[in-house]
Structure 1
Amino acid sequence: MKLDWLKIVLVEPAGPMNVGSVARVMKNFGLHHLVLVNPQCDFLGMEAKKMAVHADDVLESAVSVATLPEALQGCFRAIATTARVRDWETPLENPRDALPWLLEEKEKSAALIFGPEDRGLSNEELNYAQRFIRIPTDSIYPSLNLAMAVGICCYELAENVKESDNQSSSKIELAPFEVVETYYQQLESLLLQIGYIYPHTAASRMEKFRQLYNRAGLQTKEVAMLRGILRQVEWAMGGKSDHQNL
């Protein structure tokens, strides 16, 4: 039931006991790759280790990074969790329906992202994921503890591992995170240059493009084709492309 290639990403976790509990439930279900984005607590302190119990190894091997893009380096697929309904075309899915998607490209790094305990993930942070899940809870008290939310998702993932082993391996292979991010940067630069977007609207417009491409599920060869189009446009405009490498 090993899922070492799947990252559990906690964005700005504030409670060391929460982080320790997350480590414990991860190990319960065979996950060991914990990534902390700008942690706001001592995740290697006594409080965290007390809650981790026999999952000290998960805590000690946890990777701390400054930003969410750093945490997603090398990932081909990412799902983000959110408790809030947003005015997006991309739907919020049930964990049971969405999480098996992370297992389709087995052994290729994927990520499940959780937000800070007090606010959840921001729209900007959600932009880095391709799909979004919301754990259904009672409307009277919908808020879940961070470790509980991670535990529910880890359970669902573990339940799907054996089934995914028997499925066909001929799945669509998505482009890795850093390849798509480079395309977004090139696209934004060109759109600013031609006046399609402006500095004060760039963030909101690019958010729409991200949503569109996330729904499409870009493959590496498709990103290469799109970047080729942008380079040709830059050439036709008489400018020299700053993005020579695919």
Structure 2
Amino acid sequence: MVATASANIRIVLVEPAGPLNVGSVARVMKNMGLHQLILVNPQCDYLGEEARLMAVRAADILENARVVESLPAALVGCTRAIATTGDDRPLATKPEYPADALPWLLEAPSALIFGREDCGLTNAELNYAQRLIRIPSSEAYTSLNLAQAVAVCCYELYKLVLNPPIQVNSLLEVNPPIEVNPPLPPPRGEKKEPPPWEENKETPPYFPQGGNEEEPPPTPPKGGMKKNLPQAVKEEDASATFENLEGYYQQLETLLLKVGYLHPHTAASRMAKFRHLYNRAYPSVGEVAMLRGILRQVEWAIGKTHPIGPVSDTLDQALPDYPAQKASEPD
């Protein structure tokens, strides 16, 4: 379980300015069993003496940290993201308590995003996350230090790893439901009397296992009892990654600008609403492919910018940006 959480969850710091903070983050990550640190356009020397001083024996976290230029680049490969916010600005997504939202990250490749020390994350950056969390604090001083906020969240994740939530299905497998007042078996050697509605049906005698030496106990079916094992998730049913969704958002915005539904001065705010919509829906790879297939067909219909072809929602045709197609030549 610890290895799974460590492999799934990455800590993303957006434009951190304090090397002491970055070093402290690396240390607490190693304390809590996490190792994936992503730095978005860092504003400090994260490998310098100050950062290493605070990291102590977690210098390897700093050395292996990945530096990217933008938040979308930090989220490549993730299907879930939670962002942190500490202010009371009006937000389309309601912030949750860490203990309520963080378990969701353990189930898939995920990111936990933290903002700048002085101003946090912008609204546009918050829109990349499906869920938001806010760490409750005293009204006397509500703002937490960056490293402290990371420590609180990493600790909550580590508690979940040590004591994962009990699943109802797991309980049923360990303790299957028992039948209340089950009927008792008939005495040895006696026939089980059929109920009145089955008088015309032949009922074989009941022999408990080992109860009659002449009649061997019934043998179980070949291969043993079949269990309802979970099937592997099909590719099209897997959750869409952030890069899949970003490609769709760009294609959608381009089309809506072309048809006049969006205007350049309002496109950002309107597209933020589309992001909120799809963040709540958690679309799968196949669903994003279907949506992009629709956009491609609309683009052809309104401007014939693409050669006509059969409508396709398959992964290889709908997911890439404008897949190459050859125009059919006239006879």
Same fold (TM over 0.5): yes
Compared CA separation, residues 228 and 163, structure 1 to 2 (3 A): farther
Q: Which residue is 1:141 aligned to?
A: 141
Find the counterpart in structure 1 of residue 252 from structure 2.
187
Deviation at 1:205, TM superposition (A): 0.6
Task: Give the drift of 1:244.
Answer: 3.0
Greater Rg by CA: 2
Scaled by the length of structure 1, the TM-score of the pair is 0.93
Corresponding residue of 2:193: none
Q: Which residue of the partner structure matches residue 212 of structure 1? A: 277
Distance 2:9 2:92 in 1: 27
Q: Select which of 15, 32, 35 maps to 2:35.
A: 32
8 A Cα contact 2:79 2:239, kept in partner? yes
| Structure 2 partner of 1:94 | 97
Further displaced range: 124-133 or 85-94: 85-94
- Report which stretch shifted further, 192-201 or 83-92: 83-92
Contact 1:20 1:43 in 2 (8 A): yes
Other-structure match for 1:104: 107
Unaligned runs of 5+ in 2: 170-229, 307-319, 325-331
Q: Using a 3 Å threshold, how does the CA distance of structure 1 residues 131 and 155 change in structure 2: closer, same or farther?
A: same
Instruction: Give 1:205's aligned amino acid.
Output: R
The answer for the alignment partner of 1:230 in structure 2 is 295
The 5-angstrom pairing of residues 125-136 of structure 1 reads 125-136=125-136
Mean Cα deviation higher: 167-176 or 117-126: 167-176
Match of 1:85 among 72, 85, 88: 88
Specify the SS of the correspondent of 2:7.
coil
Structure 2 residue corresponding to 1:6, chosen from 2, 9, 15: 9
CA contact 1:104–1:164 (8 Å) conserved in 2: no
1:217 deviation in Å?
1.0
Distance 1:243 1:11 in 2: 28
Asked if 1:51 is matched to 2:54, the reply is yes
For the Cα contact (< 8 Å) 2:8–2:106, is it kept in 1? no
Deviates more, 1:115-124 or 1:212-221: 212-221
Alignment partner of 1:244 is 2:322? yes
Deviations 1:137-189 (A, max 9, x none): 11111111111100110011111124548657789842101000000000000
Name the amino acid aligned to 1:244.
Y
Q: 1 CA distance for matches of 2:67 and 2:45?
A: 11
Query: Any unmatched runs of 5+ in structure 1?
Result: none
Does the CA-based 8 Å contact 1:11-1:116 persist in structure 2?
yes
Instruction: Give the secondary-structure state (helix, strand or coil) at the position aligned to 1:39.
Output: coil
1:180, 1:51 → 2: CA distance?
A: 37
Q: Distance in 2 between matches of 1:240 and 1:21?
A: 52
> Aligned pair in 2 of structure 1 residues 66, 243: CA closer, same or farther (>3 Å)?
closer
The aligned residue for residue 19 of structure 1 is: 22
Partner SS, residue 4 of structure 1: helix
Residue 82 of structure 1 aligns with an amino acid whose one-letter code is: T
Give me the whole-angstrom Cα distance separating, in 1, the residues matched to 2:274 and 2:53.
44
